[in-house]
């Protein structure tokens, strides 16, 4: 097996390709900071590449054949795409899977309040985060407000240079003697992650207003003054929300607003070898999978890519991997090919092979003691395969069958893909789950793989450009084989 640095293997031409791929990946990250934004961008890219929405085919009563490309979207947050192969669907598919949700702060359904001159939005964090990492950072708000009449208002504020940003405060160090004694999990508590969104009362006196006007205003509003002063900052924010998004306070109730780090993906290091960005878990695997799907030409087996939501909170809900969305979509695709039966569907699923992709922990020399050096991924050493994940004795893991691991090794070697095998960290220090075990329930071959990440789940995560590119190459090698 190749346990070596990918950069050492690359020709100048490949280094250029790596940079080019990283550039496109960073653009994807900038466009997709939520699962909805990712879905929109994915759909744009695959439609340009000739993919047709399943619903459209159903309405037009069209059929599918080898070479066709079809996709389905679940509630604007998950996508399944298929490039129909030459072999019968019943013989199984080659499936790439990854998730497009990332840890963040979600705005609550009744969030807006004023406290001592600050307008604040109450949040509930999503996924596993070190809460103390999310304070004193410039934050952006992305999401949708769905009004009662069904109209969707898109919110995206904090990303443009002249946009305002938002933040969660932290206690000044000068007064932090007690706070600094607390356990890291308690330093910043979940309910303390409230977003500061304003500090200016709605009615403030303009000192340059002429005296006569001032007097008139005073007479007009003498009685309202007291009422207006209460929650005047909150009222100011509501007025802005009304003007900008035509939304009322009640509309927060049917909104999905996500608070994410403000700012773009950046190259990192003097040598620009790395990428620092929000949400690389797991958009790095999602993007590489998407790119591989768009690259593969005339596959033998049907190539399938599943980019799902809710992995970070247990793959639950209609848009998570545990939903029947995928299975239903495969049944529809089979039906349009004229080969559907319950048995054919079962056979298709059980005969499929899957690369279930998610990020892996990269060895961090500053915290060397937390890793088993022989069984950890190194940043820059290529695509990562995890035979198993889980925690406390592999609990919750899809432990890939050795026979399947052997098939995959062969494919990667034949495709000249630099890869490494890894576990998250030392036994009994913790662990993590992926979507692999859910697909394995169909009896299909599944292995965890992906890209190594430093600072996983932090507001800014780091990957190696070479790993991102090499992983895309690994996906292409996989999709081109008949497993």
List interacting residues with Mn ion (CB under 5 A): 281-282, 358
Residue 259 CA to residue 275 CA, distance in Å, equals 21
Residue closer to Mn ion, measured from CB, 37 or 282: 282
Can you state the angle between helices 35-48 and 12-31, rounded to 10 degrees? 120
> Cβ distance 160 to 140 under 8 Å?
no
Residue closer to Mn ion, measured from CB, 85 or 279: 279
Provide, rounded to whole angstroms, the least separation between the CB of residue 361 and Mn ion. Answer: 10
Which candidate, 141, 154, 189, places its Cα nearest to that of 76?
A: 154
> Cβ distance 234 to 119 under 8 Å?
yes
Q: Which residue intervals of 80-201 are DSSP H helices?
A: 184-187
Distances in Å between the alpha carbon of 27 and those of 22, 32, 64, 263, 276? Answer: 9, 9, 32, 12, 13
Provide, rounded to whole angstroms, the least separation between the CB of residue 99 and Mn ion. Answer: 6
Residue closer to Mn ion, measured from CB, 302 or 398: 398
> Cβ distance 72 to 54 under 8 Å?
yes
Residue closer to Mn ion, measured from CB, 252 or 385: 385
Residue closer to Mn ion, measured from CB, 281 or 423: 281
Residue 189 CA to residue 124 CA, distance in Å, equals 11
Provide, rounded to whole angstroms, the least separation between the CB of residue 358 and Mn ion. Answer: 4
Residue closer to Mn ion, measured from CB, 111 or 432: 432
Q: Give the distance from CA 49 to its chain's centroid.
A: 22
Q: Give the distance from CA 146 to its chain's centroid.
A: 22
Provide, rounded to whole angstroms, the least separation between the CB of residue 282 and Mn ion. Answer: 4
Provide, rounded to whole angstroms, the least separation between the CB of residue 29 and Mn ion. Answer: 15
Residue closer to Mn ion, measured from CB, 114 or 281: 281
Residue closer to Mn ion, measured from CB, 323 or 357: 357
Residue 201 CA to residue 114 CA, distance in Å, equals 10
Provide, rounded to whole angstroms, the least separation between the CB of residue 384 and Mn ion. Answer: 12
The helices-and-strands tally (H runs, E runs) of the chain is: 14, 22
Provide, rounded to whole angstroms, the least separation between the CB of residue 124 and Mn ion. Answer: 17
Provide, rounded to whole angstroms, the least separation between the CB of residue 35 and Mn ion. Answer: 12
> Cβ distance 302 to 87 under 8 Å?
yes
Q: What is the dihedral of CA 448, 449, 451, 453, to 10 degrees?
A: 30
């Amino acid at each position: 097996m190749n346990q070596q640095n990918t950069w050492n293997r690359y020709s100048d031409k490949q280094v250029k390709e790596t940079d080019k791929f990283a550039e496109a990946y960073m653009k994807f990250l900038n466009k997709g900071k939520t699962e909805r934004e990712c879905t929109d961008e994915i759909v744009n890219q695959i439609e340009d590449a000739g993919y047709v929405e399943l619903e459209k085919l159903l309405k037009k009563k069209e059929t599918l054949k080898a070479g066709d490309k079809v996709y389905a979207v679940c509630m604007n947050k998950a996508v399944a795409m298929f490039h129909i192969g030459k072999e019968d669907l019943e013989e199984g598919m080659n499936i790439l899977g990854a998730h497009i949700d990332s840890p963040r702060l979600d705005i609550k359904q009744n969030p807006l309040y004023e406290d001592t001159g600050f307008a604040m939005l109450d949040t509930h964090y999503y996924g596993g985060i070190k809460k103390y990492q999310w304070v004193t950072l410039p934050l952006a708000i992305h999401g949708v407000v769905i009004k009662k009449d069904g109209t969707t208002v898109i919110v995206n504020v904090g990303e443009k240079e002249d946009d305002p940003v938002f933040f969660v405060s932290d206690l000044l160090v000068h007064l932090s003697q007690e706070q600094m004694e607390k356990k890291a999990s308690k330093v910043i508590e979940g309910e303390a992650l409230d977003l500061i969104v304003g500090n200016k009362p709605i009615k403030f006196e303009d000192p340059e207003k002429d005296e006569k006007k001032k007097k008139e205003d005073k007479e007009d509003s003498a009685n309202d003054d007291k009422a207006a002063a209460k929650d005047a900052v909150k009222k100011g924010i509501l007025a802005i929300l009304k003007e900008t998004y035509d939304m009322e306070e009640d509309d927060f109730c049917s909104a999905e607003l996500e608070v994410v780090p403000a700012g773009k993906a950046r190259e990192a290091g003097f040598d620009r070898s790395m990428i620092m960005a929000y949400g690389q878990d797991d958009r790095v695997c999602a993007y590489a999978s998407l790119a591989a799907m768009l690259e593969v030409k005339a596959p033998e087996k049907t190539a399938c890519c599943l980019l799902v939501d809710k992995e970070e909170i247990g793959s639950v809900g209609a848009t998570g991997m545990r939903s029947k969305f995928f299975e239903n979509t495969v049944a529809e695709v089979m039906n349009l090919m004229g080969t559907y039966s319950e048995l054919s569907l079962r056979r298709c699923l059980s005969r499929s092979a899957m690369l279930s992709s998610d990020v892996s922990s990269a060895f961090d020399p500053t915290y060397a003691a937390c890793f088993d050096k022989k069984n950890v991924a190194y940043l820059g050493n290529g695509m990562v395969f995890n035979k198993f994940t889980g925690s406390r004795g592999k609990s919750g893991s899809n432990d890939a069958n050795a026979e399947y691991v052997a098939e995959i090794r062969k494919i990667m070697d034949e495709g000249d893909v630099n890869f490494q095998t890894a576990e998250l960290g030392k036994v009994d220090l913790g662990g993590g789950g992926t979507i692999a075990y859910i697909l394995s329930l169909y009896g299909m071959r599944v292995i965890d793989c992906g890209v190594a990440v430093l600072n996983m789940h932090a507001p800014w995560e780091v990957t190696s450009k070479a790993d991102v590119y090499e992983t895309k190459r690994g996906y292409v090698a996989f999709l081109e084989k008949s497993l």
